[in-house]
Amino acid sequence: MRYMLFIHLDESQMPKSPADKGYEMLAAYGAYNEALKKAGIYLAGDRLTPSATTTQVRIADGKTSVLDGPYAETREQIGGYYIIEAEDLDSAIAWAARCPGANHGTIEVRLIWEATSVAQ
């Protein structure tokens, strides 16, 4: 089953970390990526640029509105994501717990809706 792991982070907390901590975290993500790949469950994953660069698009009353930046009221932003092939939810949770982001943010684990499961 494919699971998506959303990495929710409080961006305002990030720059305050000491410079070496950033490096440590980066290396930890590198090791995590390798572990996912060696376990044969890695499908995709990326780090996202800061949420200040985000753009919100929606259509209401036939009018398209385009807004800059994230929703102001949400403190935590999505900093990156992984898509993994996991046996079940428990296995996906175990991998989410190993994600370095789990130590200072929240990892949201969602089962991906497979087209085949709709057909059935």
Partner 1 sequence: MGSDIGRAVKQPATESDGRAAAEAAARRSYGKLVAILASRSGDVAAAEDALADAFAAALEQWPVSGVPANPEGWLVAVAQRRTVDAIRRRRTSAEGAAHLQLIAAEIEASSMEDDLPDERLRLMFACAHPAIEPSIRAPLILQTILGFDAAVIASAFLVSPATMGQRLVRAKNRIREAGIPFRIPERDALDERLDAVLEAIYAAFAEGWADPTGAESRRRNLATEGIWLGRLTASLMPDEPETLGLLALMLFAEARRAARRDSNGDYVPLAEQDTKVWDSGLIDEAEGLLRRAGVMGKIGRYQLEAAVQSAHVARRLTGETDWQAIARFYEALSRMTQSPVVAINHAVALAHAGDTGAGLALLGTLADDKRLLTYQPYWAARAELLTLAQKPLEAHEAYGMAIGLETDPAIRKFLQSRRARLRN
Nearest-CA neighbor of 53 among 64, 37, 75, 69? 69
Per-residue binding letters, 18-57, with partner 1 (x by CB under 8 A): ------x--xx-xxxxxxx-xx------------------
Nearer residue to partner 1 within complex by CB, 54 or 109:
109
8 Å CB contact between 95 and 83: no
61 CB-contact burial (10 Å; exposed 0-12 / middle 13-18 / buried 19+): exposed
Is 103 one of the binding residues for partner 1 (CB under 8 A)?
yes
Q: Which is nearer to partner 1, 46 or 90 (CB)?
A: 90
87 binds partner 1 (CB under 8 A): no
Extract the tokens encoding 53.
């660069």
> Under rule CB under 8 A, how many of the chain's residues touch partner 1?
21
Question: Which residues have C-beta within 8 Å of that of residue 53, sequence separation ≥ 6?
Answer: none
80 binds partner 1 (CB under 8 A): no
Q: Which stretches of the chain bind partner 1, using CB under 8 A? A: 24, 27-28, 30-36, 38-39, 89-90, 93-94, 97-98, 100, 102-103
